[in-house]
Amino acid sequence: MSSLPNHPFGLTITDAHILATMQSLQGWEARYRQLILWGKQLPVMEESLKSDQAVVAGCESQVWLVSEQDEQDGWLFYADSDARIVRGLIAVVLAALNAKTGEQIMAFDMDAYFSDLGLLDHLSPSRGNGLKAIVGKIRTEIA
């Protein structure tokens, strides 16, 4: 049984759901609002989990990420940020990678996913780098 709080990303809200939702919205402002709504669905991380080891380096905002492996060799990720939009970006990443095996995570084409979402075109360079840093930390955690 997982010691991390349950959330819908990667379980009931998948990468396919994220893509379909984002592609159905008109304009970046609507997509931006949707990112914030997904961010609100992430559980707030307990302060005790916000250790120095959990900090994601390379993010402009504060971002924390912890992980554990479940009984089926799937990886469960729990992340938080002090910025609303970053919480939404975390949700997008977790929808694609949460509850997947290490092999599935490493095989998932995040660049294509971000491209299909049109995210990097509308984020500041520092936010785009932060998004890539979150994915990098996940891949480091499972290695």
What are the residue numbers of the active site?
Answer: 59
Which one-letter amino acid corresponds to residue 1?
Answer: M
Contact 92, 35 (CB under 8 A): yes
Residues 6+ apart with CB under 8 A from 71: none
Contact 91, 77 (CB under 8 A): no
Q: For 8-23, give one letter per residue: b (16+ CB within 10 A) or e.
A: bbbeebbbeebbebbe
